[in-house]
Amino acid sequence: MSLSATLGNALSGLSAAQRALSVTANNVANANTEGYSRKVANQGSRIVNGQSLGVQSLEPTRVVDHYLTGELRRQESSLGRHTVIAETLQRIERGVFGAPGDGDRGIAAHLGRLTAELEQLANEPESRPLRTAVLGSIQDLFGQVGNDAATVQELRGDADRRVAETVQAINNDLQDLHQLNQEISRSGGTPDLLDRRDAALQELAQKIDITTFRQDNGQIAVHTSGGHALLEQTPRVLHYKPASNLDANVPLGPIEIFMASQVDPKTLTPLVNAQGQVLVSGGYRATVTPEMIAQGFTQEIVSPLGGGSLQGLIEARDRILPELGDQLAEVAELAAFSLNRAHNAAMPHPLPTTVTGTRDAVADFPADPAQSTGTASLVVFAADGTIAADVQIDLAAATSAADIVAQINGQLAGTGAAQLDPATGELSITLGTDAAGEPWRLAWDEADSRITVTDAAGRERDFGLVHFFGLNDLVVADGTRRGAFKVRDDIAADSRRLANVELTREAGVPVVGGVGDKRGLQRLAGALDQEAMTIDRGGLPGSSTTVSRYVSDLTAQVGAQAKQAQNREAAGRAMVEDLEFRKGAVSGVNLDEELAKLVLYQQAYSVSARLISITNDLFGELVNMVR
């Protein structure tokens, strides 16, 4: 081998060692840099005319396990979904049911206070302060349910805004990936650029579940797991407009995917007449309720996504929170039914002169004769306690609310009149006065009367006659918001209207109790422990249950769901950490190994330098010999 070839070999070795030292030093410097993968200095023989003329440095390569990287992305998507769901359920626990130790708040606490006050009032029926306290506690109970429902709606609105923010973040990630794709295509794919792209893909995977495909030019195509393209030659643009005022009956818009040419480049708003591809459909919620279907609100929101924080937010907004809202509405409805069932079976003292129903009896009266059976009675008392009229109502003979009105009017004997409001279908009975100008007063006994009604939500319940018409309801619908209840205004204004007496018959003669009669209040005290039918709401199946038991089941269910969500989040986080550890074992920097390589490359550098020095000396000797 000539001295020139020897010098060339030595110089190439010096250059290769220097390049290897640089790669190794870079590994050491980035040992703790997140997302950095270890680089390997590659070398190859330099061949000229079939003869080896030293070594050449090749482009460094990354040490990456692509399977682990892909699996890590999938687990990041799953973790993103579970994290959002766990966070939502924790906020529900704190905001709706109260944190541990908040014994004075929450529906269960209000129920406990109300039950205790009702029992105390049943023992002291003439106590005005206790009556006022009971009415206040009933109002507080329904107020608490209403406030909790409002909190749920606020959480849902927050989730909707976060959906819009996540969509925008996904657009930003896609734009970053597109720029990295272009840089990789131009540069041939340097290891640092590939690291940056992997980090960007992992960031995107936390928001939406994705699959990737490597193209021939080194670029990456990104799709959702359902096959919707997010990035191919150009990035797609996701668009979602959050609701300005989210309400149960306000439909939400879809999440759509547009080509970059279909949107305004500054605002990313779709151009007029642009047709996007629907990623998540618009609608009211994930599953609409029977009563919503009855009102024509039938469009359900369908999401094909399987993971990512976006899917977690969609589940929270469209499934978890609406179902909780349904369950809270069921609490209010069940409590209202139970209290009104007891209150309608009794009367206030003094007895009323006029009663007005709260139900559209014309529309709700069952068409099937088998659903209205038994008898009930209305009794009109004169001021001296004598009986002015004893009305017997046979439900088996009635096929409509008008038939019942006819039976009542036919037996009132001129003491008053019953009529159905032509606009609302509500029954009212108004009594007159006797010859001395004293008002007649009304009492009733539901006896074995039964009217079976199936409401729009699908609840099938039995009502006594007075309860069906709502002639003495304690709580009524609060028109300020859907599904809300309040104490009837005249009772709230005068606690003496709280029903405490009952009508009985002694030897067939109707008799009512006096001011100290506590049978009605005893019935009211046990109302919340009387069973009634509920319907399927979220994870709570329809059953015959009490208000207290339903609230207890609801609280336990939310607690169990929150715990399960936390466990899933913890399991997902453990899986991600395990995969990151495995990935680090493959792609991470081992300082001991890198320092050993530094010593090796330094020695190679020294050998090449020594060989150059020796070759230089030999050239000097040759020059001296020629002289």
Q: With helix as H, strand as E and coil as C, how does 421-488 read?
A: CCCCCCEEEEECECCCCCECEEEEECCCCEEEEECCCCCEEEECHHHHHCCCCCEEECCCCCCCEEEC
* Same domain for 18 and 148: no
pLDDT for 51 equals: 66
Same domain, 58 and 195: no
Report pLDDT for 627: 64
List Cα–Cα distances, 321 to 155, 169, 335, 485, in angstroms.
8, 24, 21, 21
Ramachandran region, residue 35 (left: φ > 0; alpha: ψ -120 to 50; beta: rest) = left
Cα distance between residue 212 and residue 477, in whole Å: 54
User: Does residue 492 form part of some domain?
Assistant: no
Q: Evaluate whether residue 480 is within a structural domain.
A: no
Question: What pLDDT does residue 378 have?
Answer: 97
431, 380 Cβ separation under 8 angstroms: yes
- Domain co-membership, 182 together with 320: yes
In a domain, 373, yes or no: no
CA 540, distance to chain mean position in Å, is 16
So what's the pLDDT on residue 50? 64
Give me the residues of the chain with pLDDT under 70, please: 1-5, 8, 47-53, 99-104, 627
Q: Count Cα atoms within 13 angstroms, Cβ side, for 58.
A: 10
Query: Tokens at residue 571, please?
Result: 């399991």
The count of domains in the chain is 2
- Distance, in Å, from the CA atom of 290 to the CA atom of 269, rounded to the nearest integer, reads 36
Residue 317, judged by CB atoms within 10 A of its CB (0-12, 13-18, 19+), counts as buried
Are 265 and 299 within one domain?
yes
Q: Judge if 188 and 258 occupy the same domain.
A: yes
One-letter amino acid of 418? A
Q: Tell whether 230 and 102 lie within a shared domain.
A: yes
Do both 325 and 301 map to the same domain?
A: yes
CB count within 10 Å of CB 144 equals 21
Question: Is position 167 within any domain?
Answer: yes
**Does residue 473 lie in a domain region?**
no
Structure tokens belonging to residue 513: 């109790």
- What's the rounded Cα separation, in Å, for the pair 248 and 255? 19
Per the structure, the complete domain to which residue 308 belongs is given by 65-341+545-584
CA distances (Å), 580 to each of 67, 68, 206, 219, 566, in order?
Answer: 12, 8, 14, 24, 21
Is residue 320 domain-resident?
yes
Query: What's the pLDDT at 22?
Result: 80
Alpha helices in 304-377 (DSSP H): 309-315, 321-344, 361-364
Q: Are residues 38 and 80 in the same domain?
A: no
Beta carbons within 10 angstroms of residue 67's beta carbon: 8
Tokens of 149: 């429902």
Which residues 6+ apart lie within 8 Å of 489 measured at CB? none
Say if residue 71 is in the same domain as residue 58: no
d(CA 547, CA 342): 14
322 and 223, same structural domain?
Answer: yes
User: Same structural domain for residues 184 and 40?
Assistant: no
Q: Is residue 559 part of a domain?
A: yes
Based on its alpha-carbon atoms, the radius of gyration of the chain, rounded to whole angstroms, reads 40
DSSP for 87-113, written as a single string:
HHHHHHIIIII--TT-TTSSHHHHHHH
3-state secondary structure of 513: coil
**53 and 106 belong to one structural domain:** no
Backbone angles phi, psi at 442, to 5 degrees: -110, 135
In residues, how long is the chain?
627
- Domain assignment of residue 535, yes or no: no
101 torsion bin: left (phi>0), alpha (psi -120 to 50), beta (else): left
Q: ∠ CA(358), CA(361), CA(362), 5° rounding?
A: 140
